[in-house]
Structure formats: structure tokens, C-alpha cells
Structure 1
Amino acid sequence: MELGLRDKIALVAGASKGLGKAIALGLAKEGAKVAICARHKDLLETTAHEIESILGSEVLPIKADVSISKEARKFVQKAVNYWGTVHILVTNAGGPPPAYFEETTEQMWEQAFHLTLMSALNMAWEAIPYMRKQKWGRIIAMTSISVKQPIGRLMLSNSLRAAVVGWTKTLADEVAKDNILVNSVCPGYTLTQRVKVLAQNLAQEKNTQSKEIFKNWEEKIPLGRLASPEEIANLVVFLASERASYLTGNIIQVDGGYYRGLT
């Protein structure tokens, strides 16, 4: 299937590893020109060179910490200065640290607010004017299955990712007239470094081993396994494409059947 992504300008945040890297690679495979950002310059540039060596396509690495408002905005500005516009924005950032409510502090909530919610808003504020002008745009917010089924000990993530989907649902209505589509993707348990760290933390708390935590998760997933980052990326690439032209305002889980709810 031709997805119509060749020469589209795509921006993927938090893309030096994990889900962001898989998404950037997936978009580049379809011929998009991809700008990626992350906090650590060396790893970011290694990822850009890796994608370029695989596909021969240009990847623009931009060092930025999207939890800092001016850096989130500069990520978009620098990509636009280089390529002239932006068609696709994938908002993505590492999740807040695991904690129960009584373990959290006001500072932790403020940091999580900027990392999880404000990072997406700041990038979108910069990107939307270009999308409006060209009457074509895709904004895809990476959230979590926790927005549909909260996950234990992830108080910060559960709360603030819910705010992200409230924002995307409302924004989708506001920008639809300009052919800008806005959707949220909610990964379930996926084989990323963050999930491995969560497993380690849970194992310590329960005085067991990480492999037992993974086994417990797998038993709750009808497909019997965790997702690969590429399986999440496949949906994101489709939502970014011409073929998703009538999909907006959706909150879509990719979780192997983990979530049992009807909506």
C-alpha cells in the first residue's frame, strides 16, 4: 500500500531510542524526511546515522529537552528552518518516574507536567501554523494504555497522560477544518528500556525477579507477549499517512488485547 509519505516533513520527539526511534525509522522507510530530538547528543546522532545508513535517507538530529518549553519550541523551529515546513508531528517523551501518590512531591508533579503535557503543547503551538497554511497536517501524541486502564504505582503518568488525550480530543475538533488530523496512540506493555526499568522496580518492591514480572504481564495479555517497538510504530506511520485521511480525535490502544473495556 502506498502511504503517500514520500518527502513529507516529519518531526519525532524523544527519538534516540525505544518507541521514538522505531517511529522515526518507520517514517523514513516510507520516504519521509525526518527530524529527531532527544536530550543526549551522542546517542541522538548515533541513531540518525544508523537510520541514514539503513535507508540512505537524510535524518536531522536536533538536541533538545522537550520538558523545557523553549527547547521544545526550538526543535520545531530548527526543523522548519532546515526544511521549510512541517507536515507530521509525533509528540513523545520519556514517562515520569513511578511513584504512589504519597511518595510524590509538588516538584515531581511540576516536572511531570512539563515533560508529559507541556512538551506536546509547545511543539504543537509551533507546528500548527505551518499545517494550517498548507491545509495538511498530522499530530500524533504518544501516550499509554494507562489512559484507559490506570497502571499501579504510575500516579504521575496515569494523571498527566489523561490530560494529553483530553487535549488531543479537543484539538482535533478545533483544527479539522484545515485538514489537520490529531490522534493519540496508547501503547500497552512494550519491550523498551523504560518498561524494563519498571519491571526492575516492581521486582524490588515485591522481592522477586524481573522475569517474574514480565511473566505476570504476559499472562494478562491475550496475545501472550509484549509488543515490539516496531509494532507500535506501524500504527503511527499509518496515522501519519494519506491513508488515514478520515481518522481524527481517536484514542487508539496497541496492547495485544490487554485492555478489556468497550470504549
Structure 2
Amino acid sequence: MDLELDGTSALVTASSSGLGKASATALAREGANVVVNGRDEGRLAEAVDEIDAVGDGEVVGVQGDLTEKADIEHLVERTVDEFGGIDTLVTSAGGPPSGAFMDTDDEDWYEAFDLLVMSAVRTVREAAPHLKESDQGTMTFVTSRSVKEAIDSLVLSNSVRMAVIGLEKTLSQELAPEVRSNAVLPGPHETSRIEDLVEQAVDRGDYDDYEEGLADWGDGIPLERIGDPMELGETVAFLSSPKSSYINGVALPIEGGAGASNL
């Protein structure tokens, strides 16, 4: 299916690794010009090279910290300077530390809010005028299945990410019809973070090999496996395309059917 993204411009935050990188890769494969963002200069350069190798569009890396307002402003300005506008915005961010409620202090809460919520707020604030000028402006927020069901020892993610969904739903009304806003709620995917966790467990002797550890992560998921990051990335590309033109204000779980929530 041609998603009709050839020649469009996309900004994907926190995209030098993980699900952000998969989203940027999927958009590039569809011919979009993509700005890739990350804090680590070396990792960002590697990601740009990898994504550029699979896509037909231009791929540009812009270093920046999403908790810094000035960095976000520069990120959006650079995207517009490079590509003449923004058609697609995908917001992603790293996860806050795990921990139980009584083990988190005020600083933990403020840092999580700044990372997950204010990064999205500031990016949208800067990008929205450009998205409204596009004839196919879209925003997709990469959050977590924790907004549907609380996950043990993830009180910060369970609580703070809910604000991103409230933002996404509000924007789907305030910015429509010029801009569509949706969210994806990923469960476990085989990112470098999970790879590291499984490899550490193998080293500890918890599993005989990597495959056994990975299979254990898929235990309880009806599809009997965790996700491939590109499965999420391709969903983001679809939501960013005219092929999904009547989808707006949706929070889509991508977790192989693991969730027990009816809605």
C-alpha cells in the first residue's frame, strides 16, 4: 500500500533508538524526509546513517535534550529550515525510572512530568503553526500501555503518561480539521532496552539463552511474543498518512492483545 508520504516532512523526537527510531525508519521507507533527534551525538549519527540507508527521502539528525525548551525550539526551527515545513510530528520520549510510590520523591515526579508531558507540550506548541499550514498535518504521540492498565512498579509512567493522552484528545478537537492527533500505546517490543535486560538475565543464569528469555517476555500475550519495533513504526506511518484520514483522537494499544481492559 502506498501511504502517499513521498516528499512530506516529518519530525520524530527521541528517535535515535527504540520505538522512536522505528517510527522514523518507517516514515523514511515511505519516502518522507525525516528529522531524527537524540541526546547522544554518536548514537544519533549511527541512527541517521541506518535510516538514510532504507529510505528515499532526506534524513537529518538534530541533537537536543527534550527537557530543554531551547533545544525543542531549535529542533522545530531546524526541521522547517531543512524541509520548508512540517507535515508529520511524532513525539516520543524515554521512560521514567521504575519504582513504587513510596520510593519516589518530589524530584522524581517533576522530572517525569518534564520528560513525558512538557516535552510533548513544548514540541506541539512550536510545531502546530507549521502543521496547520500542511494539507495533511498529523501528530502521533508514542506513550505506553500503562495509560490503560497500571503496571507494577511503574507508578511514574502509570500516572504521568495519562496527561499525554489528555493532551492528544484535546488537540484532536482543537486543531482539527487541519491537524489530526492520535496516540499509540505500545506494550513490550524488542528494543535495545529489552535486549539488554534479557542478556543480563541470561548472564545471571535466569535463562539458558536469549531466545528463552525473549519467549518469557511474551508469556501471557495472546500472540505469544513481544512486538517487533517496526510493527509499531509502520502503524505510526499509517496514522501519519492520508490512508488514515478519518482516524482522529484515537489511543491505539499495540501490545498483541495482552491488555485486559475492555476500552
Pairwise same-fold verdict (TM > 0.5):
yes
Superposition pairs for residues 142-161 of structure 1, below 5 Å?
Answer: 142-161=142-161
Cα deviation for residue 61 of structure 1 reads 0.2
Match of 1:209 in 2: 206
Deviations 1:94-146 (A, max 9, x none): 10011111111111111111110111111101111112223431000000111
Q: Secondary structure at the match of 2:49?
A: helix
Cα distance 1:35–1:256, how it changes in 2: closer, same or farther (>3 A)?
same
- 8 A Cα contact 1:68 1:114, kept in partner: no
Match of 2:180 in 1: 181
CA displacement, residues 7-54 of structure 1 (integer Å, 9 cap, x when unaligned): 110011111111111111110111100001000111101111122233
CA RMSD across the alignment: 2.1
Aligned twin of 2:225: 225
Name the CA shift for 1:38/1:8 in 2 (closer, same or farther; >3 Å).
same
Map of 1:245 onto structure 2: 245
**What SS is found at the alignment partner of 1:116?**
helix
Q: Which runs of 5+ in 2 are unaligned?
A: none
* Other-structure match for 1:195: 194
CA distance in 2, matches of 1:209, 1:102: 28
Q: Distance in 1 between matches of 2:180 and 2:198?
A: 35
State the one-letter code of the partner of 2:257.
G
Q: For 2:144 and 2:152, how far apart are their aligned partners in 1?
A: 13
1:26 aligns with 2:23: no
The whole-number CA distance in structure 2 between the counterparts of 1:31 and 1:150 is 37
Which amino acid in structure 1 is aligned with residue 145 of structure 2?
I
Q: How much has 1:217 moved relative to structure 2?
A: 3.7
Deviation at 1:57, TM superposition (A): 3.4
| d(CA) in 1 for partners of 2:67, 2:258 | 30
1:65 alignment counterpart: 65
2:67 is aligned with what amino acid?
S
Amino acid at match of 1:13: T
Q: Per-residue deviation at 1:68?
A: 1.6
Moved >4 Å (runs of 4+) = 196-201, 210-216
* Secondary structure at 1:183 match in 2: strand
Measure how far apart 1:237 and its partner are.
0.6
Take 1:107 and 1:137, find their aligned partners in 2: how far apart are those partners? Answer: 36
Matched ranges for 1:39-118 at <5 A = 39-118=39-118
Query: Residue deviations 1:212-238, cap 9 Å, x none?
Result: 875554221001111010111111010
Distance 2:235 2:73 in 1: 26
Comparing 242-251 with 104-113, which one deviates more in the overlay?
Answer: 104-113
CA distance in 1: counterparts of 2:145 and 2:194, whole angstroms: 13
CA contact (8 A) 2:48 2:60 kept: yes
Instruction: Tell me the distance in 1 between the aligned counterparts of 2:155 and 2:214.
Output: 21
Task: Tell whether the 8 Å contact from 1:218 to 1:225 is kept in structure 2 after alignment.
Answer: yes
* Length-normalised TM-score, structure 1: 0.92
In structure 1, stretches of 5+ residues that fail to align are none
Residues 3 and 73 (structure 1), Cα distance of their counterparts in 2 relative to 1, 3 Å cut:
same
The residue number in structure 2 matching 1:119 is 119
Tell me, in whole angstroms, the C-alpha distance in 1 between the residues paired with 2:191 and 2:9.
26
State the distance in 2 between where 1:193 and 1:69 align.
27
Cα distance in structure 2, aligned partners of 1:213 and 1:223: 16
Secondary structure in structure 2 of the residue aligned to 1:102: helix
Kept after mapping to 1: 8 A contact 2:86/2:134: no
TM-score by length of 2: 0.92
Corresponding residue pairs, total = 259
Q: 2 CA distance for matches of 1:164 and 1:213?
A: 32
- Give the Å deviation of 1:200: 8.3
